[in-house]
Structure 1
Amino acid sequence: MQWLEARHRAHARVEDRIRCAKDTCLRRPPSREFAINQAWCAATAIAVDLIAWLQLIGLDGDLAKAEPKRLRYRILHTAGRLVRGQRRRWLRTPATWPWTEQITASFNRIAANSAPG
């Protein structure tokens, strides 16, 4: 019984990722041409994987479990700049943006993981 429960929960995660892929842009291919739609599906798969890794590695709290629509509004559509200075990279975001602290924390978390060892 426990094995079936674990199998069902693993499948539910897969279904959640498929639903997120459909919300991202997999639902409506842009063309009737197979090659264009094939490239579109590849780009969508890359975007979905990047969002999944961002949620796994960089985000915490409610944004780690947020849907793609919420992530687009709160994080991905934020006007920001990467600047270099003092031998570091800095992320400049608007101070009035409500999720600036979460964006900065996720940037620092990802930067700390990707530092060469």
Structure 2
Amino acid sequence: MAAKKKKEAVSVSFHYLSRSKESDKGDVIHTAFTSDNFNLLEDNMKKQTPIDFRDQKSVDRLRFRSEIILLNIKRENPRTIIGTFKNPYSGHAFENTHKGKIPADSVSLRPFHFLIYLSDEGRIYIAS
């Protein structure tokens, strides 16, 4: 019997950020993100403090997704930032052939890539 070929399933998730404020009359007024806002976003992403895996509070911030690990952040052009994030998952104990028993309270990290784009309208689009 011939071995089955592994099929790859690729998916992309798109989201966007927009911002607004309320006028004195209660109307919603949409305000654009600027290039300066986008530059600040990139700067803050690059300034992220490394996670100390020996500190349980830091690990808990990952587990409960209050924080995420960002890597390889690069400005592709004035409107595009690319990089990698490590998506945490936990909650399941399992047996690993190399490491043995992995407890349910451990945090595993899988790398994913992202693209962030500042549109002409001032929305920030995120693809991952």
Q: How would you bin the TM-score normalised by the shorter chain?
A: under 0.3
Indicate the structure whose relative CO is greater, using CA pairs within 8 Å and at least 6 residues apart: 2
TM-score (norm 2): 0.22
Instruction: Indicate the structure (1 or 2) with the bigger Cα radius of gyration.
Output: 2
> TM-score w.r.t. structure 1 length?
0.24
Q: Which one has a larger percent strand, Structure 1 or Structure 2?
A: 2
